């Protein structure tokens, strides 16, 4: 699989699956721009990729359109957009306040929409492009104690399907990955204490048919495939990368 010379943007590229994706796309020949709120992380990953870092908040529509325009100005085009930036909130409805709900939607839903809208504007001109969104198993099935996150990922899956239909005839493919439990910093986010190795093994034994968590690279490889011409007949797909979690 080659992505030689492709111009790619990876949001959330400073950590976890975004970082693994940025590194793999660069290793496959792409010119990568890492977009993230975390300036140090974005610089570290973009240095490792021989790419550029853009620091900003994907919930800001002005930042998103300037970021994409800047990439197009610098490289002449954008071929691949990966929307991996995201946050989690571990709370039921009564435990979710207005600001937390709005922030979840702003980052996980608005961020995907604003970046994708900016990118398709350029991709349409070239009649070519691939967008890969990060959904989740929890965009398809419910889970207790994560209502805002579930709602946001369900919206990401529907943005993916609806935009895929809007742009199928323009040569733009739009797909999503729906990972299960992945070993990234997000696993510890929003918990009173980071889970221990025993906690994670119990989680895997109780909920994951293959009995283990994913490593970020295992998801990144699916993203890179969707970005490439090897996935030329795929659009509007939500690809589960979940060790059988949603097969039940």
Instruction: Report the residue from 25, 30, 32, 36 that binds ligand NAD according to the rule CB under 6 A.
Output: 36
Q: Residues 28, 227, 133, 238: what is their CA dihedral angle, to the nearest 10 degrees?
A: -130
By the rule CB under 6 A, 181 interacts with ligand NAD: yes
Q: Closest distance between ligand NAD and the C-beta of residue 149, in Å? A: 7
* Interface positions, 2-21, toward ligand NAD (CB under 6 A): 11-12, 14-18
167 is catalytic: no
By the rule CB under 6 A, 141 interacts with ligand NAD: no
By the rule CB under 6 A, 51 interacts with ligand NAD: no
Instruction: Report the residue from 57, 69, 217, 218 that binds ligand NAD according to the rule CB under 6 A.
Output: 57
Instruction: Report the residue from 146, 163, 187, 222 that binds ligand NAD according to the rule CB under 6 A.
Output: 187
d(CA 234, CA 238): 10
Whether 181 contacts 208, CB under 8 Å: yes
Q: Closest distance between ligand NAD and the C-beta of residue 236, in Å? A: 19
By the rule CB under 6 A, 228 interacts with ligand NAD: no
d(CA 12, CA 53): 11
d(CA 9, CA 78): 8
* Interface positions, 70-99, toward ligand NAD (CB under 6 A): 84-87
Whether 172 contacts 129, CB under 8 Å: yes
Q: Closest distance between ligand NAD and the C-beta of residue 25, in Å? A: 15
Whether 175 contacts 226, CB under 8 Å: yes
Each residue of 196-223: b (16+ CB within 10 Å) or e?
Answer: eeeebeeebeeebeeeebbebebbbebb
Instruction: List residues with catalytic annotation.
Output: 149
């Amino acid at each position: 699989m080659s992505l030689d010379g492709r111009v790619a943007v990876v949001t959330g590229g400073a950590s976890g699956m975004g970082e693994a994706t940025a590194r793999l796309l660069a290793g496959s020949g792409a010119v990568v721009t890492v977009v993230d709120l975390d300036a140090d992380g974005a610089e570290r990953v973009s240095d490792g990729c021989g790419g550029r870092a853009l620091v900003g908040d994907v919930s800001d529509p002005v930042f998103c359109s300037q970021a994409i325009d800047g990439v197009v100005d610098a490289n002449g085009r954008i071929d691949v957009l990966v929307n991996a930036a995201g946050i989690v909130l571990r709370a039921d409805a009564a435990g979710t306040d207005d600001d937390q709900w709005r922030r979840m939607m702003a980052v996980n839903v608005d961020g995907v929409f604003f970046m994708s809208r900016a990118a398709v504007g350029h991709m349409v001109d070239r009649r070519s492009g691939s967008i890969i969104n990060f959904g989740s198993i929890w965009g398809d099935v419910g889970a207790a104690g994560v209502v805002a996150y579930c709602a946001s990922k369900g919206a990401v899956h529907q943005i993916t399907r609806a935009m895929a239909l809007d742009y199928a005839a323009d040569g733009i493919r739009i797909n999503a990955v729906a990972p299960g439990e992945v070993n990234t910093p997000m696993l510890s986010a929003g918990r009173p204490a980071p889970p221990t190795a025993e906690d994670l093994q119990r989680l895997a034994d109780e909920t994951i048919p293959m009995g283990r968590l994913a490593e970020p690279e295992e998801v990144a490889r699916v993203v890179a495939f969707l970005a490439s011409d090897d996935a030329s007949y795929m659009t509007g797909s939500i690809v589960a990368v979940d060790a059988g979690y949603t097969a039940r």
